[in-house]
Amino acid sequence: MIPQTSFYLLRHGESEANLAGKAAGGGIDSLLTSKGESQARDLAEVIHNLAVKPSMIFVSPMKRARRTAEIVNEGLNLPITVVEHLEEHHVGEWEGQPWGIIGPKMEAGEIPPGGENYDQYAQRVSRVLKPLLSERYETPPLIVAHGGTFRAIGQLYNWDIRRVQNCHLHRFDPSPDLNAFPFKIFEYNVAGIDLRECVSGLCSSVRQR
């Protein structure tokens, strides 16, 4: 579980591994593509126009996340803190393999040799986020991390969150009346400030497991 507080969460821009359809967890430091950098620049404009802007940025130590945070922060000049152990899901010896091959193994519950299964990764994300989100901030912080970070948060509540697109900004707001998944999720369109409040606190990409 994680503290019930508001925060923005962002998956990095498109990486070289994303483009190739290969696994680049915590063991491969894949760089952004030119499209990924463009996505981050587009998102910087979205954040600049938010009614409630983030007060600071926390970022995964991986290069694709750090570069995304740097681009997004241009013009905002917010303090950026690199957070150790916030890197993507470690898939050990399966790093660099096509997702079409290792995905079914992961879904079947196999533990990657030298890596983490979904539950182990979710617990790592929980340990990292708890101290960050226990602090008080003037406005919600922005966490720049990975697609796996979204799934890990869902895993903590037995919910399945997938298919989070690169550089699509989300805000998690606590909603204690939602017993199963206690957050409402707002999604911002990268082409503007189109805000969509998801029914019952769940985005269309969230399904009960």
The confidence band for 193, taking pLDDT boundaries of 50, 70 and 90, is: very low
Say how far apart CA 171 and CA 59 lie, in whole Å.
Answer: 16
Task: Read off the tokens for 18.
Answer: 């994303």
pLDDT top residue among 146 and 106:
146
The mean pLDDT of 157-186, rounded to a whole number, is 83
Domain count within the chain:
1
The mean pLDDT of 153-174, rounded to a whole number, is 86
**Letter string b/e over residues 130-142, b meaning 16 or more CB atoms within 10 A of that residue's CB:** eebbeeeeeebbb
CA 190, 2, 139, 36 torsion: positive or negative?
negative
The single residue of 37, 88, 95, 187 carrying the catalytic annotation is 88
Residue 208 has pLDDT above 60, yes or no: no
pLDDT top residue among 100 and 10:
10
Say how far apart CA 99 and CA 183 lie, in whole Å.
Answer: 29
Q: Is residue 89 assigned to a domain? A: yes
Q: State the Cα angle at 66 between 62 and 71, rounded to 5°.
A: 155
Residue 56 has pLDDT above 90, yes or no: yes
Q: What percent of the chain has pLDDT over 70?
A: 89
In Å, how far are 12, 47, 59, 67, 71 from 74, measured between CA atoms? 15, 11, 15, 11, 5
Task: Read off the tokens for 104.
Answer: 């079914």
Say how far apart CA 150 and CA 11 lie, in whole Å.
Answer: 8
pLDDT of residue 134: 94
Does 170 participate in catalysis according to the annotation? no
Residue 209 has pLDDT above 90, yes or no: no
Residue 21 has pLDDT above 50, yes or no: yes
Across the chain, mean pLDDT equals 85
Q: Is residue 2 assigned to a domain? A: no
The confidence band for 160, taking pLDDT boundaries of 50, 70 and 90, is: confident
pLDDT of residue 51: 84
Residue type, 58: F
Q: Is residue 96 assigned to a domain? A: yes
pLDDT top residue among 50 and 144:
144
Residue 197 has pLDDT above 60, yes or no: no
Q: Provide the H-helix boundaries in the chain.
A: 16-20, 34-48, 63-73, 99-107, 118-133, 147-156
Say how far apart CA 74 and CA 77 lie, in whole Å.
Answer: 6
Parent domain of 190: 7-208
**Letter string b/e over residues 160-180, b meaning 16 or more CB atoms within 10 A of that residue's CB:** ebeebebbbbbbbbbeeeeee
Residue 177 has pLDDT above 80, yes or no: no
pLDDT of residue 108: 85
Tell me the binding residues for substrate. 11-18, 64
Residue 205 has pLDDT above 60, yes or no: no
Does 89 participate in catalysis according to the annotation? no
Say how far apart CA 162 and CA 208 lie, in whole Å.
Answer: 11
What CATH number corresponds to the domain at position 84?
A: 3.40.50.1240
